[in-house]
Amino acid sequence: MKKRVTIREAQIRQEVSFFWEKLREYQERDIFPDLEEEDKEYFRSEEYVGEIQKLHERAQNHCFYLIFQREGEDIGIAMPVLYDQEDGKCFLLEFCVFPEFRGNGTGQSCAEAFLAWASERGAAYVELNFGGLERRFRFWKRAGFLPNGRDEWGEPLMLLPPEEEKPVTVELLKDPEDHWQLRKLLNGYLVEIGEEMLSDEKIERLEKAIAEEKIFFFLARRGSRAVGMCSVSLCFSTFACQAVGSFEDFYVEPVFRKKGIAGMLAHAAQDWCRRRI
């Protein structure tokens, strides 16, 4: 009979210290060998601990320190963030089964326990960064996750598709606070078409072009999450002898395709061009 895995939240000082001890061991053993030295130093710094602790202590969009247990033994940890102010997203920052307990389906049992824990707390779906490592990709794919573009820093993402359909709206990008979502979508788009992702220099030039209205972006939103985008640049056409709008970019996150979102983006951009021009 399969032994049941349970989850408890590390709350008292002793449990939190144990969590961080195991997280450090996991990072040194399993994560750092694959990182650049600059990234290693960040994860070892007090700045990193402070940032995570802020997430842990805030009232909303809370970060949890979780410990997996089986038959009275602690066998692993996980660190998710529940974004209750968004569209039901749970982002899994860290997930580790201790080496002495790996094998015989223990990782799968922990993953199942975690997904049940997230669902019980209202998560509509789970997203994670698998670090581009094939073994992690295969593990989470077996759990039902699908590759889903890149994050704003260019790291590859996987997402467990939400079961519930939610309405999608399209709007012109105006708020600079939403630019991180645009960068995320653009990185996914650029990788998909075989181009280099956005560098800091390119991001700076892009921000300037948006501010100067040299290019306009439309975001397709599922709740507060941007799942697609397209852009329009205005220019003068000698064929029409008037200003026209030119599509520059067009992208929908893979998990959210075949839902009519591309058509919504195209129609919104066309309608806007008719009114603007």
DSSP 235-257: EEETTTTEEEEEEEEEEE-GGG-
- 81 and 185 together in one domain: no
Between CA 130 and CA 108 the distance in angstroms is: 16
Supply the pLDDT for residue 131.
82
Supply the pLDDT for residue 36.
76
Query: Which residues pair with residue 128 across a beta bridge?
Result: 92, 158
Residue 64 lies in a domain: yes
Supply the pLDDT for residue 38.
78
Between CA 151 and CA 127 the distance in angstroms is: 11
Please say which residue of 123, 157, 184 terminates a domain: 123
Residue 148 lies in a domain: no
- 173 and 117 together in one domain: no
Which tokens sit at 127? Answer: 């997203």
Nearest to 265 by CA among 188, 191, 169, 148: 169
pLDDT higher than threshold 60 for residue 227: yes
Confidence band of 273 (pLDDT split at 50, 70, 90) = confident
- 16 and 117 together in one domain: yes
- 105 and 14 together in one domain: yes
Residue 29 lies in a domain: yes
Please say which residue of 89, 123, 157 terminates a domain: 123
pLDDT higher than threshold 60 for residue 1: no
**Per residue in 100-130, is it b (16+ CB within 10 Å) or e — as a string?**
ebeeeebbebbbebbbebbeeeebbbbbbbb
- 83 and 179 together in one domain: no
- 31 and 118 together in one domain: yes
**What's the structural domain count of the chain?**
2
Angle between helices 106-120 and 134-142 (to 10 degrees): 60
- 18 and 102 together in one domain: yes
For 180-211, what is each residue's pLDDT tens digit? 999 999 999 999 999 999 999 999 999 999 99
pLDDT higher than threshold 80 for residue 158: yes
Nearest to 156 by CA among 127, 129, 180: 129
Q: Across residues 54-69, what is the average pLDDT?
A: 94
pLDDT higher than threshold 60 for residue 29: yes
- 95 and 14 together in one domain: yes
Range of 213's domain? 168-276
CB atoms within 10 A of CB 135: 10
CB atoms within 10 A of CB 151: 17
Residue 36 lies in a domain: yes
- 114 and 46 together in one domain: yes
The CATH number linked to 65 is 3.40.630.30
**What pTM was computed for the model?**
0.89
Q: Which residue has the higher pLDDT, 44 or 127?
A: 127
Say if residue 131 is exposed, middle or buried (CB neighbours under 10 Å; 0-12, 13-18, 19+): middle
Between CA 19 and CA 22 the distance in angstroms is: 5
- 93 and 172 together in one domain: no
Confidence band of 50 (pLDDT split at 50, 70, 90) = very high
Residue 185 lies in a domain: yes
- 207 and 265 together in one domain: yes
Q: Mean pLDDT score of the chain, rounded to an integer?
A: 92
Supply the pLDDT for residue 240.
67
Residue 146 lies in a domain: no
- 52 and 117 together in one domain: yes
Residue 136 lies in a domain: no
Order the strands of the 225-237 sheet from edge to edge.
168-172, 216-222, 225-237, 242-252
Residue 55 lies in a domain: yes
Query: Does residue 8 sit in helix, strand or coil?
Result: strand
Say if residue 211 is exposed, middle or buried (CB neighbours under 10 Å; 0-12, 13-18, 19+): exposed
